[in-house]
């Protein structure tokens, strides 16, 4: 059985010292090892941004896609090889700005993919501009007088479009983050996991201390029921979305693959793609 070290490679991350993404990387490696997954059974698909580098830091299959397009690649890969554990990753700009449409439709399809968003409330790789997760009044190079836009409510949005697994964590809570990623991988359907991952270089507002002071754990909320979507929405709205833990899970709704009639038990990668000569000639006759 694979161990944590089996998912490490010799590529040294070049994130800024103190970046929350280091903990996300460690949590992913721990979660897949704890789940009994082998490196050759895992694929990590990333987008663009500081978080996009993560696919190259794990000893597994990896694909560094383009900005906002990690989810189409991840979904295509899962459809082609259902036996792979597929994790998509990106930042809040990747998933909730240019890639919002892909995020919404991946959620409603409920394809068996785990999507981890590293949410630092800012564009870090391009040197500190306002992101769709930045709060109103947020001052950056792109909004020197403060942002006049309302930040997107990502978790609430996920619930409204039919998410079957919504989790949120904090990068400094390695144990809790690892557990929520394990739960997302085990979930049969699309899992959205938003991780508050502070940018220590460009975001001096939403710091580690700020999150520690403002985050609320669902496990500390008396009577919380993660299977109650109405309670999940009310809890998020009451706490400005600053809630961590398993916020909502629907175990009853089938995944996208389970609903496809005639979907082969074998992955497409094992399919016989050779055409019989008679079938080939019949196809060609249509064009001659």
Residue 99 lies in a domain: yes
Residue 14 lies in a domain: yes
pLDDT digits (tens, 9 = 90+) for 36-80: 999 999 999 999 989 999 999 999 999 999 988 999 999 999 999
What's the mean pLDDT in 253-259?
Answer: 94
C-alpha 19/C-alpha 22 separation (Å) is 6
Residue 189 lies in a domain: yes
Model-level pTM?
0.93
- 92 is in which domain, residue-wise? 4-258
User: pLDDT at residue 233 above 90?
Assistant: yes
- Which CATH number goes with the domain that contains 238? 3.40.50.970
Residue 268 lies in a domain: no
Which whole-number Å values give the CA distances from 81 to 42, 154, 227, 265, in the listed order?
A: 11, 29, 30, 10
pLDDT digits (tens, 9 = 90+) for 189-229: 999 999 999 999 999 999 999 999 999 999 999 999 999 99
3-class secondary structure, 217 = strand
The structural domain count of the chain equals 1
Given a contact cutoff of 8 angstroms between Cβ atoms, the answer to whether 104 and 91 are in contact is no
User: pLDDT at residue 267 above 90?
Assistant: no
Residue 287 lies in a domain: no
What's the mean pLDDT in 18-27?
Answer: 97
pLDDT digits (tens, 9 = 90+) for 143-189: 999 999 999 999 999 999 999 999 999 999 999 999 999 999 999 99
Residue 279 lies in a domain: no
Residue 263 lies in a domain: no
């Amino acid at each position: 059985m694979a161990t944590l070290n089996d998912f490490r490679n010799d590529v040294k991350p070049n994130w800024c010292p103190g970046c929350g993404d280091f903990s996300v990387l460690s949590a992913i490696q721990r979660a897949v090892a704890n789940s009994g997954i082998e490196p050759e059974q895992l694929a990590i698909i990333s987008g663009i941004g500081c978080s996009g580098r993560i696919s190259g830091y794990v000893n597994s299959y990896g694909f560094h896609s383009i900005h906002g397009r990690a989810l189409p690649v991840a979904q295509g890969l899962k459809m082609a090889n259902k036996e792979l554990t597929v994790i998509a990753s990106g930042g809040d700009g990747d998933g909730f700005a240019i890639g919002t449409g892909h995020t919404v439709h991946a959620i409603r399809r409920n394809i068996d993919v785990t999507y981890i968003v590293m949410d630092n409330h800012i564009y870090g790789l391009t040197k500190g501009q306002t992101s769709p997760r930045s709060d109103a009044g947020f001052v950056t190079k792109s909004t020197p007088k403060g942002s006049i836009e309302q930040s997107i409510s990502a978790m609430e949005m996920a619930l409204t479009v039919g998410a079957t697994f919504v989790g949120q964590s904090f990068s400094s809570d390695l144990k809790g983050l690892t557990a929520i990623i394990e739960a997302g991988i085990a979930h049969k359907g699309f899992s959205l996991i938003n991780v508050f991952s502070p940018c220590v270089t460009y975001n001096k507002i939403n710091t580690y201390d700020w999150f520690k002071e403002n985050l609320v754990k669902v496990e500390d909320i008396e009577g919380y029921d993660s299977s109650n979507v109405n309670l999940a929405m009310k809890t998020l709205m009451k706490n400005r979305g600053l809630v961590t833990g398993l916020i909502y899970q629907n175990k009853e709704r089938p995944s996208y693959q389970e609903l496809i009639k005639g979907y082969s038990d074998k992955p497409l990668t094992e399919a016989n793609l050779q055409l019989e000569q008679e079938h080939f000639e019949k196809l060609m006759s249509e064009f001659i």
